[in-house]
Structure 1
Amino acid sequence: MIDWRAIDTVLLDMDGTLLDLHFDSHFWLEHLPRRYVELHRLDEATQEQIRARILRERGTLNWYSLAYWSRELGVDIVALKREIQHLIGLRSDALDFLKWLQRAHPRVILATNADRESLELKLPLTGLEAYLDAIVSSADLGVPKEAQEFWFALQEVEPFDPSRTLFIDDNPEVLESAREFGIRHLLGIKQPDSTRPEKELEEFIALDRFATILPEELPSEVPGDKLRDDKVRGEMIRSDRAVPGEEGGKIG
């Protein structure tokens, strides 16, 4: 499916791609509306109004901004997320995939719509940073991944060749935006939320497991192998004292 010799850069989404979307789905559609009603002492019927209010911002920076929702709803979103942070977790074989990329590939970038507050919650719980060369949030660039401007801005801060880049995301609207920009290799996710049914994407190949796109053996020559190997050797030396991410748990 993927000729890894033709790939120099891997761009990865976080929620629903590396991380199980169950945490986010449950928080925004169940936990937050319920806690909002409790904290403001409102009627249970208000929960549906809150869900509708949240969904109206879909695809915008506001949709992904914890600070925005804290202001709008008059609650501490981060504190409420911490109430169910035990639901934060990696998708089934995401860690194996990241480990393979760390051994075999020169550049791995997290390209996410999650804002910095979300990242500060999730990264320490999952140890994702140990496997990434860079982390770029749409909040940093001032535009969501659904917009073309995101990709131009991303290329400015983390240069990449669209024709030699693989991008994996669970959001078909984001994948379409990436395709319009010219990213050649695009893959979706069949089951972003482990508690919900699988879904096929009309315009893109969707993965059920990352293992399906990995070769049986590491390619003998991958661009940037030497640089990656030097980096990994350095991390292995440091790991004698501490393993990256051990202080955390899981993410979502």
Structure 2
Amino acid sequence: MQTQSLSNIDWSQIDTVLVDMDGTLLDLSFDTRFWTQILPEHIAATTLLEKEDARQKVRAHGERTLGTMQWYCLDHWTESMGVDIRAIKKPHAHLIRWLPGAELFLAALKKLKADRWLATNAHPYLLSLKHERLQIQAHFHRTVTAYDFNSPKESPEFWRALTSNFGLDLSRCVMIDDSIPVLRSAQTAGVGYSIEIMHPDSEFGKASSGRDEGHDFIEIDSVAEIAAAMERG
């Protein structure tokens, strides 16, 4: 049973709002399409593999490295797949786009006294590519990445490094993310409110619920709901 809700949050008592990038602000369809279609098709076109075999190769490697720094590392993927991931991604940058309601949310967020932090696992090249496209970092006071601490947000080490380096009181923080493992890690570390985005990819339906024993996330379709809650006070 969900006990937290957006109405429980007193935004005047929040010091820092930590916001994920992909699947929270940016449409995950760009990344989904790249890993399931664009990359396998490129591998098939430049090797002797059939397209389905190439797709299975990408999928299997993703499953082996999920939740680790390797999963997020473009250099690792380049070495493992034998193709230049950066060079393949760049021509498709026009597919990078905001999720519905993201810009409305960012405008509402700026009205708070709280610090606004972009918190992402994205590889520095991808962060740069997406910022070049949409100027996403301009909406935040600070950007923190898994590469700052060599630990993904799924890891307790990320949250320990975040508090030791910046002195955050996690109980006065909000974490907004589409990843259940990230939100579990944030909540275990002591983050006051964990908000799960249930519709991270505009080309797919809602994600399954992240609620389980010991974890209680606020589940919303999109960050537009947070903007509306902020306006209501």
TM-score by length of structure 1 reads 0.82
Answer yes or no: is 1:107 the counterpart of 2:115.
yes
The C-alpha deviation readout for 1:12-36, integer Å capped at 9, x for no partner, is 1111011110011111121111111
Instruction: Write out aligned runs for 1:36-75 (5 A).
Output: 36-47=43-54, 48-75=56-83
Q: Which runs of 4+ in 1 moved over 6 A?
A: none
Partner of 2:23: 16
Distance of 1:16 and 1:154 partners within structure 2:
22
TM-score by length of structure 2 reads 0.88
Question: Residue 111 of structure 2: SS of its match in structure 1?
Answer: helix
Partner of 1:165: 173
Partner of 1:232: none
Letter in 2 for 1:25: T
Question: Residue 110 of structure 2: SS of its match in structure 1?
Answer: helix
Question: Residue 163 of structure 1: SS of its match in structure 2?
Answer: helix
Contact 2:171 2:191 in 1 (8 A): yes
The C-alpha deviation readout for 1:91-136, integer Å capped at 9, x for no partner, is 1111111112123233011111101111111111111121111111
What 5-or-longer segments of structure 2 have no aligned partner?
1-5, 212-216
* Alignment equivalent of 1:84, drawn from 78, 92, 107: 92
Instruction: Write out aligned runs for 1:76-225 (5 A).
Output: 76-203=84-211, 204-214=217-227, 215=229, 217=231
CA displacement at 1:189 relative to structure 2 = 0.5
Distance of 2:230 and 2:91 partners within structure 1:
41
Contact 1:33 1:51 in 2 (8 A): no
Distance of 2:64 and 2:120 partners within structure 1:
20
CA displacement at 1:50 relative to structure 2 = 2.6
Answer yes or no: is 1:4 the counterpart of 2:11.
yes
The alignment covers a number of residue pairs equal to 219
- Does 149-158 or 107-116 show the bigger shift? 149-158
Question: Residue 135 of structure 1: SS of its match in structure 2?
Answer: strand
Q: Calculate the aligned-residue CA RMSD, in Å.
A: 1.6
Q: What percent identity do the matched residue pairs reach?
A: 39
- Does 69-78 or 36-45 show the bigger shift? 36-45
Partner of 1:243: none
Larger Rg: 1
- Relative to structure 1, the CA distance from residue 185 to residue 43 in structure 2 (aligned partners, 3 Å threshold; closer, same or farther) is same
Partner of 1:236: none
Partner of 2:214: none
- Relative to structure 1, the CA distance from residue 149 to residue 31 in structure 2 (aligned partners, 3 Å threshold; closer, same or farther) is same
- Relative to structure 1, the CA distance from residue 78 to residue 186 in structure 2 (aligned partners, 3 Å threshold; closer, same or farther) is same
Instruction: Write out aligned runs for 1:25-40 (5 A).
Output: 25-40=32-47
Letter in 1 for 2:220: L
- Relative to structure 1, the CA distance from residue 105 to residue 92 in structure 2 (aligned partners, 3 Å threshold; closer, same or farther) is farther
Letter in 1 for 2:68: T
What 5-or-longer segments of structure 1 have no aligned partner?
220-252
Distance of 1:36 and 1:101 partners within structure 2:
41
